[in-house]
Amino acid sequence: MEIGKRIAQLRRERGISQEELSELALLHRVTVAKYESGQVEPGASALSRIADALGVSTDEILCRVDKLPPFVPIVRASVPVVGEIACGVPITAEQNTEGFADLPDGVAADFALRCKGDSMTPTFLDGDLVLIRQQPEVADGQIAAVGIDGEATLKHFYKTPGGVLLVSDNPKFAPMAYPAASAPIVYGKAVGFVRKLP
Is 104:73 a contact under the CB 8 Å cutoff?
A: yes
- The more confidently predicted of residues 64 and 81 is 81
119: left (phi over 0), alpha (psi -120 to 50) or beta: alpha
**Structure confidence by residue, pLDDT tens digits, 129-144:** 888 888 889 999 999 9
Does the bond joining 122 to the residue before it have cis omega, within 30 degrees of 0? yes
Q: What is the mean pLDDT of the chain?
A: 80
pLDDT at residue 110 above 50? yes
pLDDT level of residue 16 (50, 70, 90 thresholds): confident
Is 87:114 a contact under the CB 8 Å cutoff?
A: no
Note the pLDDT of residue 75. Answer: 39
127: left (phi over 0), alpha (psi -120 to 50) or beta: left
> CA 40, CA 13: separation in Å to the nearest integer?
22
pLDDT at residue 114 above 80? yes
Where are the domains positioned within the chain?
3-61, 78-194
Note the pLDDT of residue 82. Answer: 67
Q: What percent of the chain has pLDDT over 90?
A: 20
Q: What is the mean pLDDT of residues 43-68?
A: 76
What top-level class would CATH report for the domain 78-194?
mainly beta
Question: Which DSSP state fits 170?
Answer: S
Instruction: Give the three-state DSSP class for 162.
Output: coil
* Residues with active-site annotation: 119, 155
CATH topology of domain 3-61: 434 Repressor (Amino-terminal Domain) (1.10.260)
What is the DSSP code string of 105-120? TT---SEEEEEESSTT
pLDDT at residue 186 above 70? yes
Q: What is the mean pLDDT of residues 149-165?
A: 89
Question: Which DSSP state fits 35?
Answer: H
